[in-house]
Amino acid sequence: MARKNRKDKNLTVFLLALSVVVLIACSNSDDESGNPDPDETLLSQCLENGGLGNISENHGHSLTIPKEDILAAEEKTYDIQGFSDHTHTITLTVQDFTALKDVNPSRAVDIYTSTENDHRHSVIIVCAP
């Protein structure tokens, strides 16, 4: 009977070890197709390609955030005039840059421009593809 208990214990230990191996393999950041986790892809895009501003009610403004600014993560003001006949500015804080570093599909940096010519714009900053 003692021998059977040892076999049961060995089997239990083996199954537990196998479960751990399976859990580790399944928790890999790649999905079943071998593609990287989308969150990791977005993060690498932001750090590799910088950010872009999607500007509401846009009439010629543009915003590009260099990857160096995202890596530096220091407060910075940008002029978004683009080819518009007037300018607006936005200021990104350290927290905004941190959010860009940690970007995922459900989160982006949403900020308002300065008010010029009696209007302002909402700008959603996302990682550049």
**Which pair of tokens denotes residue 109?**
């940096």
At 78 the pLDDT is 97
**Domain segments of the chain as ranges:** 1-35, 38-127
pLDDT digits (tens, 9 = 90+) for 94-129: 998 888 887 554 457 899 999 999 999 999 998 888
Q: What's the token pair of residue 80?
A: 């978004």
pLDDT for residue 29 = 42
According to DSSP, residue 129 is labeled -
Q: What's the pLDDT score for residue 10?
A: 56
Return the structure tokens found at 102: 């940690």
34 touches 26 (CB < 8 A):
no
- Asked if residue 22 has pLDDT above 50, the reply is no
- Phi, psi of 126, deg, nearest 5: -130, 170
pLDDT per residue over 48-89, tens digit each?
888 899 999 999 999 999 999 998 999 999 999 999 999 999
Q: Is 78 in a helix, a strand, or coil?
A: strand
**Does residue 4 register a pLDDT over 60?**
no
Please tell me the pTM assigned to this model.
Answer: 0.64
